[in-house]
């Protein structure tokens, strides 16, 4: 009986010493790390701070550069700028976007290919997307700019 009491005391102490971070890992939103859920947004127009639009594919393992990030969404339009860094090859990244963008409903309207760089423009409904792929050594940089068609 003492063994179970000690284990429960140890578990309780570790939860409280771990603080909010441990609760956040376990999926319990406490403290300042409450995740934003865009489905709960009830205003007509709001800036969604951590929105990466679901119909714009991102290669696995690519990280969003938080200091070069902007997104805005309201019922009539959306816009954003996203910069990602990854460790894929240029060809693999290029093939990924050329297969995944049409699958997400985007249609290519323009392409310019240079040595280690690629610029493509895509259209979907009343939105235009510019996609820039830049290869610097073993690092790939992807810049995505989304805006409404005027």
- Checking if the pLDDT of 33 tops 60, the result is no
Q: Residue 110 corresponds to which tokens in the numbers above?
A: 């323009």
Q: How many CB atoms lie within 10 A of CB 51?
A: 18
Q: Residue 77 corresponds to which tokens in the numbers above?
A: 């339009």
Q: Do 99 and 143 share a domain, yes or no? A: yes
Count of domains forming the chain: 2
How far is residue 20's CA from residue 99's CA, in Å, rounded to a whole number?
41
Residue 110: which domain range? 38-148
Q: What does the pLDDT read at residue 50? A: 52
Element (H, E) at 140: strand 139-148
Residue of higher predicted confidence among 21 and 33: 21
* Residue (of 69, 74, 62, 49) closest to 141 by Cα position: 62
Radius of gyration of the chain (CA): 21
Q: Do 29 and 42 share a domain, yes or no? A: no
Q: Do 130 and 71 share a domain, yes or no? A: yes
Q: Do 77 and 111 share a domain, yes or no? A: yes
Q: What is the pTM of this model?
A: 0.66
Q: Residue 44 corresponds to which tokens in the numbers above?
A: 């007509």
Q: What does the pLDDT read at residue 110? A: 95
Average pLDDT, the chain: 77
Domain of residue 136, CATH code: 3.30.310
Q: Are the beta carbons of 135 and 117 closer than 8 angstroms?
A: yes
- Checking if the pLDDT of 58 tops 80, the result is yes
Q: Do 14 and 79 share a domain, yes or no? A: no
Residue of higher predicted confidence among 66 and 125: 125
- Checking if the pLDDT of 74 tops 70, the result is yes
Q: What does the pLDDT read at residue 30? A: 41
């Amino acid at each position: 009986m003492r063994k179970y009491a000690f284990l429960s005391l140890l578990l309780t102490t570790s939860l409280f010493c771990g603080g909010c971070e441990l609760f956040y890992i376990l999926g319990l939103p406490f403290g300042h790390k409450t995740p934003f859920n865009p489905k709960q947004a009830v205003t007509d127009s709001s800036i969604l701070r951590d929105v990466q639009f679901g119909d714009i594919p991102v290669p696995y393992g690519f990280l969003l550069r938080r200091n070069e990030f902007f997104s805005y969404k309201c019922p009539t339009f959306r816009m954003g700028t996203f910069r990602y860094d990854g460790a894929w090859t240029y060809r693999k990244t290029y093939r990924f976007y050329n297969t995944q963008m049409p699958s997400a409903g985007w249609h290519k309207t323009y392409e310019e290919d240079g040595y280690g760089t690629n610029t493509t423009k895509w259209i979907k409904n009343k939105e235009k997307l510019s996609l820039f792929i830049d290869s610097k050594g073993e690092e790939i940089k992807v810049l995505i700019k989304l805006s409404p068609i005027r």
